């Protein structure tokens, strides 16, 4: 089971990281382009390029925070019905029935996501408190690391917390 949780977590973490960075880059590029257009297509000289780069960096850090939330929601859909080390998460249509949902949509995940996200928040808060006690250091990258680390433990605990989840051999 350790291998299942670890490979599941690696898949999930890679997806969250890549999706949040790509989404933040796209949103930052859109915002920077709109601001450049609003200024009237100023000729691209070195000063203008430096200013556009600074705008992109500014908006990238802001949009990254929103992108992580979107990536967390979207990534949960892809952990179901995939085989990881011989096991898979299955989502039940009803906790009392043994009917699994084969094609999972985002609407099917709302109830599960709320429980999983609250578990993720509590685990992240615990890791951040431990980090502040041990290291007396905090920045946004430490928070993202705590979110990723919490994701591993949340997959272990979610089977107990959410009755709609089953771990099945594949």
pLDDT in tens, 99-152: 888 888 888 888 889 999 999 999 999 999 999 888 877 888 889 999 999 999
d(CA 158, CA 129): 22
- 101 or 33, which is more confident: 33
- Are 100 and 92 in contact, with CB atoms under 8 Å apart? yes
In this prediction, residue 147 carries a pLDDT of 95
Q: Rounded distance, CA 58 to CA 8, Å?
A: 33
pTM: 0.87
* Burial of residue 145, with CB atoms counted within 10 A of its CB: 0-12 exposed, 13-18 middle, 19 or more buried: middle
In this prediction, residue 153 carries a pLDDT of: 96
- Cα separations (Å) of 76 from 84, 107, 118? 14, 12, 14
Instruction: Report whether 132 contacts 138 (CB < 8 A).
Output: yes
Helix locations, the chain, DSSP H: 2-38, 46-77, 106-135, 140-161
pLDDT band (50, 70, 90) for residue 95: low
Mean pLDDT taken over the chain? 91
Q: How many domains, the chain?
A: 1
* Residue 57 lies in domain: 2-169
- Tens digit of each residue's pLDDT (9 = 90 or more) over 64-74: 999 999 999 99
Q: What single DSSP character describes residue 167?
A: E
pLDDT of res. 161 = 80
């Amino acid at each position: 089971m350790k291998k299942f949780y670890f490979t599941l977590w690696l898949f999930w973490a890679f997806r969250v990281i890549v999706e949040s960075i790509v989404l933040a880059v796209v949103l930052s590029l859109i915002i920077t382009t709109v601001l450049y257009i609003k200024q009237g297509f100023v000729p691209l000289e070195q000063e203008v390029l430096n200013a556009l780069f600074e705008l992109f960096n500014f908006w990238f850090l802001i949009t990254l925070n929103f992108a992580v939330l979107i990536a967390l929601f979207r990534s949960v859909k892809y952990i179901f019905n995939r085989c990881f080390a011989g096991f898979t998460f299955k989502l039940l249509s009803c906790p009392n029935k043994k009917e699994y949902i084969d094609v999972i949509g985002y609407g099917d995940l709302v109830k599960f996501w709320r429980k999983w996200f609250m578990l993720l928040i509590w685990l992240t808060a615990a890791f951040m408190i431990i980090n502040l006690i041990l290291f007396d250091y905090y920045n946004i990258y430490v928070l993202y690391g705590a979110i990723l680390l919490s994701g591993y433990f949340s997959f272990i605990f979610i089977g107990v917390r959410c009755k709609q989840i089953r771990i099945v051999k594949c």
